[in-house]
Amino acid sequence: MKKKLPAILIGIACIVLLALYIGMSGRSGESAGKQVQPGEITAETAPPASPEPEDSFGFAIPVDEPELAEDSIRDERKEAVQRIMQNISRLIEDPDINSALAAAQRAMMSAEYADLIDFLNLTEEEEAYFMDLLAYRRSAQVSFALKGLAGNLTPEERAAMRAEMDEVNEAVRSEMERFLNNPDDFAEYEYYEDTQTERQLLSRLDRELQGSDAAMSDETYRNLLGLMHDERSQFPFTTDLADTDNLEMDLDQLSPENLQMLSSDLRQLNESIVNRASEVLTPVQLDAFRKSMDTSLQRQTRQIEMAARFFGGE
């Protein structure tokens, strides 16, 4: 099993990296944490600083000009975004920026995996190593995606990166199995990863219902989680942007047309999930679930629109 971020989330993460860079540029603080580098799970040294970025960071994306053909405008936009991705790829190799981003990523992942960490009953030392493994893999994923979006890889370089990413995934999987040292715990870890998308959607509902007569039991939560995962796994997506095994993408995949298709797919998927949820939820729970899913869809739609404006310039 290879846990990866959906392509659309990687795309949005690129925008977040831009915002983080703007906030950190010109500021040389102490390292907030250390990002484990691909191929060096136990490395103690930070990566060497890369050359200074070019004078133009590449924020200016061409705007519509009536005299330019649509294809020409899109090509210029694509080149502008590729320059941004290339510069971000270089910038995150800077030790200070790398450390700040590593700390931010680790904090987010700690929240993502909090329930699993509690279930596994990890000690402080064990939790730190558990997070080291996840941070190492996340770093490789983001690096791979950014370089792919930069659009300057040769077929040979892309193949080499793909092989390296496969090695990272397998190394983390094997080490996690050894570290947990319990078939049941490892199976729970893999199921937790497979259902991360659903857990994020359910977290809001679970908080809203806690303490009320409509609070979900552990069994109901688990059944709803499995139902949602099954629906997503079987849904016939019309674009590969929702594919959690897809990191090898380029800017053409993030076109406004593909993003609109993804938005439509998510709307249909949500409808299918809500229809099936009546099998495991009470009427009160179902009503709250429907409203929660509507809110989540609106948030996802805004994220997709943001990505469309950035990557497609629409």
User: In what helix (H) or strand (E) does residue 280 lie, and over which residues does it extend?
Assistant: none
pLDDT tens string 190-239: 999 989 888 888 888 888 898 899 999 999 999 999 999 999 999 998 87
Mean pLDDT of the chain: 74
pLDDT tens string 44-86: 433 333 343 333 333 333 444 444 455 665 666 666 666 666 6
Q: Is 40 helix (H, G, I), strand (E, B) or coil?
A: strand
- Among 230, 189, 228, residue whose Cα is nearest residue 206: 228
Higher pLDDT, 3 or 189: 189
Contact 226, 268 (CB under 8 A): no
Contact 255, 237 (CB under 8 A): no
Place of tokens 């064990």: 126
Quote helix, strand, coil % in the chain, to nearest 5.
70, 0, 30
**22-36, 240-254, 272-286: segment of lowest average pLDDT:** 22-36
DSSP output for 199-258: HHHHHHHHHHHTTSTTPPPHHHHHHHHHHHHHHHHH---SSGGG-TT-----GGGG-HHH
**CA pair distance 193, 198, nearest whole angstrom:** 10
Q: Who's near 113: CB < 8 A, 6+ residues apart?
A: 130, 131, 134, 192
pLDDT tens string 103-126: 888 888 888 899 999 999 999 999
The pLDDT value recorded for residue 180 is 96
- The number of C-alpha atoms within 13 Å of 187 and in the hemisphere containing its C-beta is 3
**What separation in angstroms does the CA of 101 have from each of 48, 133, 135, 244?**
16, 16, 11, 22
- Among 133, 140, 129, 142, residue whose Cα is nearest residue 174: 133
> Could you tell me the pTM of the whole model?
0.66
- The number of C-alpha atoms within 13 Å of 27 and in the hemisphere containing its C-beta is 13
Furthest-apart CA atoms within the chain: distance in Å: 65
**CA pair distance 284, 220, nearest whole angstrom:** 13
The pLDDT value recorded for residue 91 is 64
b or e along 218-228 (b: 16 or more beta carbons within 10 Å of the residue's beta carbon)?
A: eeebebbbebb
b or e along 169-180 (b: 16 or more beta carbons within 10 Å of the residue's beta carbon)?
A: bebbbeebbebb
Structure token pair of residue 262:
């993804």
The pLDDT value recorded for residue 177 is 97
User: In what helix (H) or strand (E) does residue 51 lie, and over which residues does it extend?
Assistant: none
The pLDDT value recorded for residue 106 is 86
C-alpha radius of gyration, the chain, whole number? 21
The pLDDT value recorded for residue 11 is 45
Q: Who's near 76: CB < 8 A, 6+ residues apart?
A: 62, 68
**39-53, 170-184, 291-305: segment of lowest average pLDDT:** 39-53
Beta bridge partners of 37: 40
Contact 82, 152 (CB under 8 A): yes
Structure token pair of residue 186:
């490892």
**58-62, 173-177, 263-267: segment of lowest average pLDDT:** 58-62
